[in-house]
Structure 1
Amino acid sequence: MTKLFSLFVLLFVKKSDADTQQAINELESYSDRELAELGISRIGIRDAVQFGRQSAA
């Protein structure tokens, strides 16, 4: 769980390019099911890391 919490911190705080790439690499290692549970599609990983994920409206 700590690893997941660290990833969320990376997603929501100002980050360096290295931090951004680390978060992208981490999310790319997740299965499609795990990404869906987080509300992120595989194609939207980069946008989710850079801009946050879209809220369900």
Structure 2
Amino acid sequence: MRIHTGEKPYICKCCGSSFSQSTTLKKHIRSHMGAKDHKCQQCSKSFATSYYLNIHIRKHTG
């Protein structure tokens, strides 16, 4: 429901970004820690998010 109301009670202590869900905040905090859990199966390069991995994969497929 918070998504619809715009309420974002979960705030990152590192940068002040706010989120409507605690799980989204937890994923965000991992970015500050340098976590790169999304690995390309073709070249083993790693990325912080699946979004950036998918952009990278397009380079392999043309």
Same fold, TM exceeding 0.5? no
| Bigger strand fraction | 2
Q: Larger C-alpha radius of gyration, 1 or 2?
A: 2
TM-score, structure 2 length as denominator? 0.29
TM-score, structure 1 length as denominator? 0.30
Q: Specify which structure has the bigger relative contact order, considering alpha-carbon pairs within 8 angstroms and separated by 6 or more residues.
A: 1
| Bigger helix fraction | 1
